[in-house]
Amino acid sequence: MTTTALHPTPPAAASIGRLTGVELRKLIDTRPLIVALVAACLAAGATGGGSILSSGPAGFGDVTRMALLFVPYFLVGIGAALVTSENTHRTALTTFAIVPRRGRVLLAKAAAMGVLGVVAAVLALAAGTLICSVAPLLGLGPVSWEIDWSAFAVLTAGLVVSALVGWALGMATGSTAITLAVFLVFPMVATAVGSFAPAAAQVLGWLRPDTVYDLAGRIDAAVIGRTATGLLLWLVTPAVIGWMRLTRGEVR
């Protein structure tokens, strides 16, 4: 009998890749997360197909972009739920008993959400391909197959950021509902305030959760500053707060 067999690698020493795989499996093991994933796919198909139905001939890039119109909101909810479900389903004690180094679990959850953001972008390409292939057969063509890959790369980065924002806010608030409320309400409040105070609108433009999408246009110091500010407010700050809360607080 070998030494490896006598002393197997303990779960606490499992690689981040292995722990990430566990977290990805959790996405399809929990009913609310499955519902959210299915709803995101249906929304992608509806908005992507609707872009052709409403405007007639469209480009592959436009259809793909429209397919992802509401996906960031689903990713935020899923990211928060992946964290908060540990308490909702009373599995936090088991999870952290198996992997005592809580930070490794939280990093694995972040990695899983990053992977999901990239997968969402790939699925949008698949949805766009299917919609653009079927459209001419239904008399809705012709369809241009052009796509701006640099803009799509920024779009993919935005999806990853949205997924991580959900993860970070979920850690900080401990509630999926509060996370979604904050993410959904802030843009509406910013729009309302901006309509009455144009000067405030410029400031609030730096505090948006989606500033990363500004990189799809002309990149200058202002764009970089807005992107960094948005990431600091919506990702870095809640991640630090949530990390301290979950790694140092009492597990319940």
Residues 112-156: tens digit of each pLDDT: 999 999 999 998 888 888 888 887 777 666 677 888 899 999 999
State phi, psi for 190 to the nearest 5 degrees: -60, -40
Say how far apart CA 124 and CA 62 lie, in whole Å: 11
Q: For residue 167, which of 185, 179, 182 has the smallest C-alpha distance?
A: 179
State phi, psi for 197 to the nearest 5 degrees: -135, 90
Q: Is 146 exposed, middle or buried (0-12, 13-18, 19+ CB in 10 A)?
A: exposed
pLDDT score recorded for residue 3: 40
Angle between helices 102-134 and 16-26 (to 10 degrees): 60
First to last CA, the chain: 40
Average pLDDT along the chain: 82
pTM to 2 decimal places = 0.85
What would the two tokens of residue 216 be? 């799809």
Average pLDDT over residues 99-114: 87
What would the two tokens of residue 44 be? 């992608």
